[in-house]
Chains A and B, each alone.
Chain A
Amino acid sequence: MADTKVRKAVEIDPNREPIVVVDDLHIIYRVYGAGGKGNAASAFSRVLRRESRPSMTEVHAIKGLSFVVYRGEAVGIIGTNGSGKSTLLKAIAGLLPPHSGGVYTDGQPSLLGVNAALMKDLTGERNIVLGCLAMGMTPAETKAKYQEIVDFAGLKKGFIQYPMRTYSSGMGARLRFAIAAAKTHDVLLIDEALATGDAKFKVKSKRRIEELRKEAGAVFLVAHQLDVVKETCDRVIWIDDGMMHMDGPADEVVAAYIEATGK
């Protein structure tokens, strides 16, 4: 039977409507970093010998994941650092092309990440406008949403006029979340976007996620605070070293995870 194989068959529920299908997904990405001797002579001899850059390594981050997510589900993704959680979200969002296999979605997925890029030399004000326009809003919609975003981010008075490089990490995260949450999304992917916020903001953002979940087809959440995952999600996928370890109801998987990691 198939269960002796590493990759198990995916169960398909014919009565529910799928919104995300991940099909035997492999992600390999290249990393360029400092490496080699770093002088011109060694680099030249390397080119002559037709070797590839020593500083370039290939990382096999996702090794054959398959699962189906249905409309209205909130899926938590847990695993240790470097297990491929963020990579998986990026792949679902279409930001990392698959090496083999595929990710199929209904509508354009949106990723809320910690380092969702905003331009750090620009004021918070300008970042809001640029962010909204990049998400495909019209200038009129941007204008209408502007005050809502400012209120939601709840920055200290005057900070909205300062360049974003002067923000603390928590303030930056709040503004980014506020911008991204201003739009309804078909598939919403949240990657640790709430980790740096303070207690008050966490309550606020949890409520907003609930709202977004009702409007969105599906929500994915990557978080290290297991209580947050348990509260927000009804299904949890546990990834280990880029492979599926467990997939099931939130309580069960989180309990098994806590046991395995010895918390």
Chain B
Amino acid sequence: MSHPERLGSSGGESVGTIAGPPHVSETLADYAARHGLKQSAARPPLRKYIQDVWARRNFIWAFASAKNISMYTDSRLGQVWQLLTPILNVAVYYLIFGVLLNTSRGIPDFIPFLVTGVFMFGFTQRSIQSGSKSVGDNLSLIRALYFPRATLPLAIAVVELQQLLTSLIVLMAIIFAFGEPLTFNMLLFLPILVLQLMFNIGASLVVARLGAFNRDITQLLPFIMRTWLYASGVIFSLPTLMGPGSKLAQYPWAADLLQMNPAYVYIELSRHVLLGKYSDYVENTLNMQHVGQLWLYAVIWSVVALVGGFLFFFRAEERYGRG
């Protein structure tokens, strides 16, 4: 209300005399607002932010591909490692859990079962672990250019998706080598991948914000991840453990809780879709009909994680350059 006379033709001189320093700052902010200037480090409205992120989709994809390419530039074999890494992983797990410990416990075709678990869990695990570093590792980029910061954890999730797609070649080869027939049912694997990707993005956005302000998270994450791995039925079958007469059967709430675990949900669904013999074994031998429930959990987890993670990351948007 007092703007017009303050900003009359007399200009700054009178501003200085009328008002002491605290009022000067007020006036400058008002003055800026009247001319439509916006706060430079402020976070944009959510709608605009989502549009900005969408506008950078090409950047996300190019950044991810570039990251993927630069990952192996120092090694002699180069991109061959993209394929060799999953194969070696499978070999190690086979040696330990298949040959030495013999954890198969009546699961038909234990190797495809194990490989599906290891790859699908690794997808989520690596997304979260590199997501936690996505802000810290790119501080120079963040301080050099303005772009929506959420593109960084998003790009990380895309990197992991690209890595997984290479691993899937190995997985499919193994599945078919074990005599699994090609079925239409396998097409359902695609929506599972999409749902899991959504979950990974959400989880990686959450840890990206945590990791940006507290580097201790990145030290702690490997242990959390390992605990999660054992709770998710990657190297053993949870349904087998839940059979009648087992310990878990006495505590149904624990079994319910384990089945809600997102990593378990995505892994188990993938197995049901890709491994006909395993699906048959769970449904007929163990008499457990829980696929519908798994789908429900899968959708809920992916939506909750993606929306919640995005909002959580967004709320600290203007602070990521600091420190």
Contacts and interface: CB of A to CB of B under 8 A. Distances in A.
Contacts of B11: 11-14
B37 A21 contact: yes
A133 B16 CA distance: 45
A101 interface: yes
Given A18-B37, A113-B144, A133-B62, A121 B73 contact: yes
Nearest to B70: A121
Given A29-B322, A68-B28, A11 B141 contact: no
Which of A1, A9, A11 gathers the greatest number of chain B CB atoms within 10 Å?
A: A9
A139 B59 CA distance: 9
B59 A130 contact: yes
Contact of A29 (B31, B63, B323): B323
A30 B39 CA distance: 22
A10 B24 contact: yes
Interface in A93-143: 93-98, 101-106, 108-111, 113, 115-117, 119, 121-122, 126, 129-131, 133-136, 138-139
Contact of A102 (B39, B62, B138, B147): B39
Nearest to B21: A7
B245 interface: no
Interface in B60-79: 62-63, 66, 69-70, 73
Contacts of A126: 62, 66, 69
Contact of B63 (A101, A103, A130): A130
Interface residues of A, number: 61
B7 interface: yes
Contacts of B20: 2, 5
Interface of B is mostly: helix
A17 B35 CA distance: 8
Contacts of A232: none
B40 A92 contact: yes
Which of B12, B13, B56 gathers the greatest number of chain A CB atoms within 10 Å?
A: B12
B323 A30 contact: yes
Contacts of B12: 9-13
B25 A117 contact: no
Contacts, number: 171
A7 to B, nearest CB: 5
A86 to B, nearest CB: 10
Contacts of B59: 130, 133-134
A133 B58 CA distance: 7
Interface in A69-90: 90
Given A10-B28, A18-B31, A117-B140, A105 B21 contact: no
Contact of B143 (A24, A95, A108): A95
B215 to A, nearest CB: 8
Given A30-B322, A102-B29, A19 B147 contact: no
B142 A95 contact: yes
Interface of A is mostly: mixed
Nearest to A97: B41
B17 interface: yes
A130 B38 contact: no
A148 to B, nearest CB: 19
Given A115-B140, A136-B147, A97 B322 contact: yes
Contact of A101 (B25, B66, B73, B141): B25
A109 B145 CA distance: 9
Which of B36, B143, B145 gathers the greatest number of chain A CB atoms within 10 Å?
A: B145
Contacts of B63: 130, 133-134
B140 A104 contact: no
Interface in B2-59: 7-9, 11-13, 15-17, 20-21, 24-25, 28-29, 31-33, 35-42, 55-56, 58-59
A244 interface: no
Contact of B145 (A1, A97, A116): A116
B251 interface: no
B28 A24 contact: yes
A8 to B, nearest CB: 7
B322 A12 contact: no
A104 B318 CA distance: 14
B21 A104 contact: no
B319 interface: yes
Interface in B144-180: 144-147
B29 A136 contact: no
Interface of A: 1-3, 5, 7-14, 17-21, 23-24, 29-30, 32, 66, 68, 90-98, 101-106, 108-111, 113, 115-117, 119, 121-122, 126, 129-131, 133-136, 138-139, 163
25 contacts: A1-B17, A5-B21, A8-B16, A9-B16, A10-B15, A12-B7, A12-B15, A12-B31, A30-B322, A30-B323, A68-B31, A90-B321, A94-B40, A95-B143, A95-B146, A96-B143, A97-B322, A104-B39, A106-B38, A110-B146, A111-B145, A126-B62, A133-B58, A134-B63, A163-B73
Nearest 8 pairs of A and B residues by beta carbon: A9-B16, A11-B12, A104-B32, A104-B37, A117-B140, A133-B59, A94-B40, A121-B70
